Amino acid sequence: MKKNSIPAGGSYGTRIADLYIVHNLAAVNGSSRHTYHAMPPVGWMNDPNGFNEAFGKYHLFYQFYPYGPSWDSMHWGHYTTQDFVKWKLEPTALAPDGQDDRDGCFSGCSVVKDGKLYLIYTSVMGDRQTQSLAVSSDGVSFEKLGVVISGEQLPKGCLKTDFRDPKVFKRGEDYYLLAGALSEKSEGMILLYRSRDLKKWEFAGTIRRDNLTTRGIYECPDFFELGGCDVMFASPQGYRTDDWRYENVQSSVYMLGKLDEKTGVFEKTYEDEIDGGFDFYAPQTMKTSDGRTVMIAWMQMWQRFIPTAKHGWAGAMILPRELSLKDGKLFQNPVREIERYRWNPVHFGNVIIGNRNELTKVNGTKIELCFTLDLGTAKRVGIKLYQGGEHDARIYYDRERDRVIFDRSRMGVEISHDPEEKDATVRSVKVSTEGNRLSMRIFLDVSSCEVFLNGGERTMTGNVYSDGSGVAFFAEGGSARIISLDKYDIVV
């Protein structure tokens, strides 16, 4: 969207938002802006919504407050893309200007049906949360159709105040909808509803009900089939820390199993955290017409100080990831389209770390790094990123703890955080180091760092606000070796 190109159509609220956007685009300071990640044109972004393919392109909607870089009355912003890398800003899709959603159009999903794109979202009025429908026949402007699931359709003992984030999938002739809810006893719940036409819904069962969500509910549930297995996502508000898992104040979890959609019973066989970094929340998936399951997520976290706010924007999305199941676990890899944007390849083989820690032409802040380490005898071995002066962020293997650590404590900017969160500067994950080897694929984009370990076995996502662009390997307490390294500039 460019200045003087305010689209026709839309509602009163979306037109005001679009006017505001075009007149304020230039006021956003570009210094920390990403180049190949979706971020708000101005203002605030949180959860991805309605991620889908329709009208020959991929659509990403998102929780959006245009008028300032902090969370406020929620709109649905809209981007489209052909490749998950280049994002085209579209007119704002929903604004909180309807009779049922005056206090916010909260998170939800989209469904393509009979050549139309339907948005199913949480409509907020005062302290009441209901599920509403909107429709578009061109994928650009949306007409609200009103509430389709009200608080009256909650099972007994549920609060009408916390009932949100619908995600719809189809099985046979029927549509099913998952939503987060809260019981009167403060239990987090995931509810299931059934419909033939997206308009009339009936309650079908309770998928999950427990007291693990100590700060609220299971937000943003998602559901899909992958490799013959049912996969459910949820973003619990507060979740008990399990050794090195779930250290953020809100987490994202995946569950494998089998859902009986007739009863809502989900036989869970495995559960784990989706990403072991700092900034990853509310993931949502879509199926592409070429058969992939692609996930996107908010690359931020609640209750944190966000340094880019002073530049007029806050929040971004991860680089979308392709999901697969391997050895009964979820594997994540960046969308393959990113490889089309690789430039200036640099290759090194067999480098002893210690002799040459900084490699010629291996630096930058918009880059991809792929390397395999022979961990040798080093106590700690890894890489420093965004290095300059005293500042850096480090990703390394710590032999004593047998974990990979993401340490952003030296990045030069303090991230204040919720007192309940132990710290917002160090995260760790366990991965296999079979054969004393470890491989990493790392994407930097000005102020972000996404790490894929061992071909997607684990990932760590975090924002890094530093002024440096150096890259250096390091080994402490012994020797180690880079078996091979490839570096590319990512140019979009």
Chain residues that interact with ligand FRU, rule: CB under 6 A: 46-47, 63, 74, 106-107, 122, 164-165, 219-220, 282
Least distance (Å) from ligand FRU to the CB of residue 299?
12
Q: Are 70 and 94 in contact (CB under 8 A)?
A: no
Least distance (Å) from ligand FRU to the CB of residue 74?
5
Least distance (Å) from ligand FRU to the CB of residue 39?
16
Q: What φ, ψ does residue 289 adopt, rounded to 5°?
A: -70, -15
CA gap 80, 477 in Å, rounded: 49
CA gap 332, 372 in Å, rounded: 18
User: Nearest to residue 462, comparing CAs of 429, 418, 432, 419?
Assistant: 429
Least distance (Å) from ligand FRU to the CB of residue 218?
9
Which residue is closest to ligand FRU by CB?
A: 106
Q: 458-468 b/e with 16+ CB inside 10 Å = b?
A: bbbbbbbbbeb
Least distance (Å) from ligand FRU to the CB of residue 300?
9
CB count in 10 Å sphere of residue 355: 8
Nearer to ligand FRU, 217 or 369 (CB): 217
Which residues are 116's β-sheet partners? 113
Strand order across the beta sheet in which 57-65 lies = 88-94, 75-81, 57-65, 43-54, 313-314
Least distance (Å) from ligand FRU to the CB of residue 282?
5
**Helix runs in 172-233, H state only:** none
Nearer to ligand FRU, 220 or 451 (CB): 220
Nearer to ligand FRU, 63 or 132 (CB): 63
Nearer to ligand FRU, 64 or 176 (CB): 64
By the 10 Å C-beta count (0-12 exposed, 13-18 middle, 19+ buried), 197 is classed as exposed
Measured at the CA of 450, the angle between CA 448 and CA 452, to 5 degrees, comes to 170
Which residues are 60's β-sheet partners? 79
CA gap 183, 188 in Å, rounded: 7
Nearer to ligand FRU, 353 or 424 (CB): 424
CA gap 397, 475 in Å, rounded: 10
Nearer to ligand FRU, 87 or 281 (CB): 281
Q: Among this protein's residues, is 467 annotated catalytic? A: no
CA gap 313, 308 in Å, rounded: 6
Nearer to ligand FRU, 60 or 453 (CB): 60
Nearer to ligand FRU, 168 or 442 (CB): 168
Least distance (Å) from ligand FRU to the CB of residue 401?
31
User: Nearest to residue 145, comparing CAs of 173, 169, 113?
Assistant: 113
Phi/psi-derived region of residue 355, left when phi > 0, alpha when psi is between -120 and 50, beta in every other case:
alpha
Residues with Cβ within 8 Å of residue 370, at least 6 apart in sequence: 439, 440, 441, 442, 485, 486, 487
Greatest pairwise CA separation for the chain in angstroms: 69
By the 10 Å C-beta count (0-12 exposed, 13-18 middle, 19+ buried), 34 is classed as buried
Least distance (Å) from ligand FRU to the CB of residue 220?
6
Nearer to ligand FRU, 165 or 374 (CB): 165
Least distance (Å) from ligand FRU to the CB of residue 283?
11
Residues with Cβ within 8 Å of residue 105, at least 6 apart in sequence: 74, 75, 76, 94, 95, 96, 121, 122, 123, 124, 132
Annotated catalytic residue within 47, 101, 230, 374: 47
Residues designated catalytic: 47
